[in-house]
Structure 1
């Protein structure tokens, strides 16, 4: 009950720091080996408590803010990547260990939140964002995963670094959405294009 009350307070007010204790800079300073030296993205131990902030131009948002943005037409981008997820290099379909429930209307691009992407996944992310936004760098994008996962933190920064102007990081992801009693729906991963 306490967790639900805290999540509701965060969802309704957007308060920062109620659950997260450290800034990203403090975590990087304390554990530099977990971060890529050039990009600053987290490269190891993705499932861990996330920071209370994200470097600009990406912005951290509450569940309520995420819900409002999505209702207004923002792209809901799920970047969840299970450890066993991989795509078939012959046809590009994803082999995922279990079905995924996500935010209503979300698009699932697995694994694009890793600290380092191989060339195929980088092209996958670029092509899908171009397609999903209709080529508009101004379209709002809400990036999420699950609670206590750095993949959405990484992906939000990567997307902002690609020139997208309205990138929002929703750190509570599907876990926070579910805790608030909001509906989730099945989502299938978008195949990786194979040339």
Structure 2
């Protein structure tokens, strides 16, 4: 009986997330000022309703499929923004109030979902992706944040642009995971390696 309720909850969350959502092309056409003219990434108002899709080669993934991919060794990447959006330039540690509740086994890389990255953050993302995937560009990568956060939408595309072949965007992130009654666990952000 629990399995039936869990499947119904997954279906309801998936349905609720697609009924009223626009496509990314529709949003960009309506509000071009919110997007970078060349990259197409969202550069302003990162906390707003997200589209129903993510441009290829990244692809949207359901929570159930994400869970299956995780069981097969996918990289689970949380890109939720840091509370103060900065790291300490002396030692690379993030200025956060404490651990974040995230998907099991997730790695937290704050701020890599901004529409435009400063060079240090772009290098941080590239180094961490290389480390997390052990250089395997075909390894599945699940990118998420929270519901109504464009950071994961941006990051999924940015990671696919780095040549990773199986990039999945978990649209409702930790909020959707929690709504399904699935456990979250504390995670701290990976420090920025300073050159």
Q: CA deviation at 1:85?
A: 2.8
Question: Which is further off, 113-122 or 95-104?
Answer: 95-104
SS in 1 for 2:69: helix
**What 5-or-longer segments of structure 1 have no aligned partner?**
none
Q: CA deviation at 1:84?
A: 1.8
Paired with 1:110 and 1:48, the residues of 2 have a C-alpha distance of 18
Paired with 2:81 and 2:10, the residues of 1 have a C-alpha distance of 26
The RMSD of aligned alpha carbons is 1.9
Q: CA deviation at 1:21?
A: 2.1
1:125 aligns with 2:89: no
1:70–1:76: 8 Å Cα contact kept in structure 2?
yes
Q: Tell me which residue corresponds to 1:8.
A: 10
Q: Tell me which residue corresponds to 1:52.
A: 52
**What 5-or-longer segments of structure 2 have no aligned partner?**
1-5
Cα pair distance change 1:19/1:172, threshold 3 Å: farther
Q: How does 1:160-171 map to 2 (within 5 A)?
A: 160-171=160-171
**Between Structure 1 and Structure 2, how many residues are aligned?**
190
Paired with 2:133 and 2:120, the residues of 1 have a C-alpha distance of 20
1:10–1:63: 8 Å Cα contact kept in structure 2?
no
Cα pair distance change 1:7/1:97, threshold 3 Å: farther
Q: Tell me which residue corresponds to 2:3.
A: none
TM-score of the aligned structures, taking structure 2 as reference length? 0.92
Q: How does 1:139-158 map to 2 (within 5 A)?
A: 139-158=139-158
1:10–1:18: 8 Å Cα contact kept in structure 2?
no
1:178 aligns with 2:142: no
Q: CA deviation at 1:83?
A: 4.9
TM-score of the aligned structures, taking structure 1 as reference length? 0.92
Paired with 1:35 and 1:128, the residues of 2 have a C-alpha distance of 26
Paired with 1:110 and 1:7, the residues of 2 have a C-alpha distance of 29
